[in-house]
Amino acid sequence: MTWVATRGQTLRQVLDRWTRAAGWVLAWPEDGDYDIMADASFGGSIADAAECLVNAFASATPPPWAKIYETNRVIVVEAPAPEAWQ
């Protein structure tokens, strides 16, 4: 499957759309969000695509981090990145 992120949306909106389409759950406990500045597409599993998309924001201040629980079909995204995840 191809996972598409569209310019003008936010990281949270994109991951919410992807997780719903895949039957997964997005947990986003923080209020912060990140703007998608350019169209992008990712192949592979939702876990692979989500990891790639979140990693694209590594230079953001603060950078988001994601923990993916494939068995439970949950993606948890927070910012800033805790020291334990860097």
Distance CA 40, CA 61 (A): 21
Range of the domain at 51: 2-85
25-27 and 40-43 as β-strands: parallel, antiparallel, unpaired? Answer: unpaired
Which residues, at least 6 apart from 41, have a Cβ–Cβ distance to it below 8 Å? 2, 3, 4, 5
Whichever domain contains 80, its CATH number is: 3.55.50
* Backbone phi, psi, residue 43, to 5°: -100, 175
Mean pLDDT for the stretch of residues 62-80? 92
Over residues 4-63, the pLDDT tens digits come to 999 999 999 999 999 999 999 999 987 789 999 999 999 999 999 999 999 999 998 889
Q: Tell me how crowded residue 77 is: count the other CB atoms within 10 A of its CB.
A: 24
Q: How many domains does the chain have?
A: 1
